[in-house]
Amino acid sequence: MHEIKQRQSATEHLLAQSERVIETFVSHPDEQRALRSKLDAAWEDLLFTQFHDILAGASISPAYTAVRALQGRALINSPCRFNAYRLSGI
């Protein structure tokens, strides 16, 4: 359970960092749109895992397998994947 909360927090920070990177360093509008689309999909996956029973530890075991998969997909889809690789070991 602790590992899920750690990964949740780390992924939230990574996605927020990705937003800042896109705003700061990507100047071409089409590229910004494409990266934001990937970022939105990553946020959707991550936010889905914030259901109150999951983070509180009250879900059944298969739910945590699904949560780990969604958290992993959010990391993979993040525009700042260089940090995602480092965080995947959590």
pLDDT of residue 36: 92
- Close Cβ partners of 70 (under 8 Å, ≥ 6 residues apart): 45, 46, 48, 49
Q: What's the pTM?
A: 0.77
Q: What residue segments make up the domains of the chain, in order of their start? A: 2-87
pLDDT given at position 58? 79
Q: What pLDDT is attached to residue 28? A: 92
pLDDT at 15: 92
User: Which residues, given as ranges, of the chain have pLDDT below 50?
Assistant: 84-87, 90
